[in-house]
Amino acid sequence: RPGLWDPVRRWLGRTWLRLFGWRIEGEIPDASRFVAVAAPHTSYWDFPHMMAFGFATGQYISFLMKASLFVGPCGVLFRSLGGIPVDRSRSGGLVESVAREFERRSELIVVIAPEGSRARGEAWKSGFHRLALRAGVPIALGYLDYGRKTVGYGPLYWPSPEGDEALLASFYADKRGRHPGQETPPRLHHADR
């Protein structure tokens, strides 16, 4: 995918982050295929900031969107930004569908916000964890910390069948979303494991 537009993408991403006061920290994972957690997720602003981070660091990140949104010019735009259309009406089909994308591609970074929505919930959805296990890829702990205005990745790790909740809780304990009262605790929803 790298091409002539890479310097422009990097400039756009860095300019966006600078304008909004964000600072990149940490290392970019040394892997061509992984699932990236995006947390905490409490605001519509999380998406453009995360995309800018991808642009600024030269990553081609992908994200999941309802297939019904991929029509006409919007479909072209979403695909060019890394969107992967998914049919959420099929139970259990999401993990299999995205796992097949990992099988097809030699390079793929899929960013998933496990909180599922911007409102506070009881626990994270476990789809990101099940996807990484099914696809045989590691997980990178990505974050947008509005408290310190930093964006980056924590450790890259291989998921265990148990869920790695202690690691998630420890890593995200000091990361704040734009609306801290809407953060969902980083523990996995047991019903959808």
pLDDT values of the chain reduced to their tens digit, one per residue, 193 residues = 556 788 999 999 999 999 999 999 989 999 999 999 999 998 989 999 999 999 999 999 998 887 887 888 888 888 888 888 877 666 567 888 889 889 999 999 999 988 866 667 787 888 899 999 999 999 999 999 999 999 999 989 999 988 788 899 999 999 998 998 888 878 777 554 4
Single pTM value for the model: 0.87
> Distance (Å, rounded) from C-alpha 136 to C-alpha 127?
14
Q: What is the pLDDT of residue 123?
A: 79
> Distance (Å, rounded) from C-alpha 104 to C-alpha 180?
38
Question: Which residues partner with 141 through β-bridges?
Answer: 37
Cβ(145)–Cβ(175) below 8 Å: yes
List phi, psi (to 5°) of 64.
Answer: -100, 135
Q: What is the pLDDT of residue 51?
A: 93
Q: Is 157 exposed, middle or buried (0-12, 13-18, 19+ CB in 10 A)?
A: middle
Question: Which residues partner with 39 through β-bridges?
Answer: 143
Q: Is the dihedral of CA 115, 131, 145, 151 positive or negative?
A: negative
Q: What is the pLDDT of residue 193?
A: 42
List phi, psi (to 5°) of 41.
Answer: -120, 100
Helices marked H in the chain = 6-19, 46-56, 72-81, 93-104, 127-135, 165-172
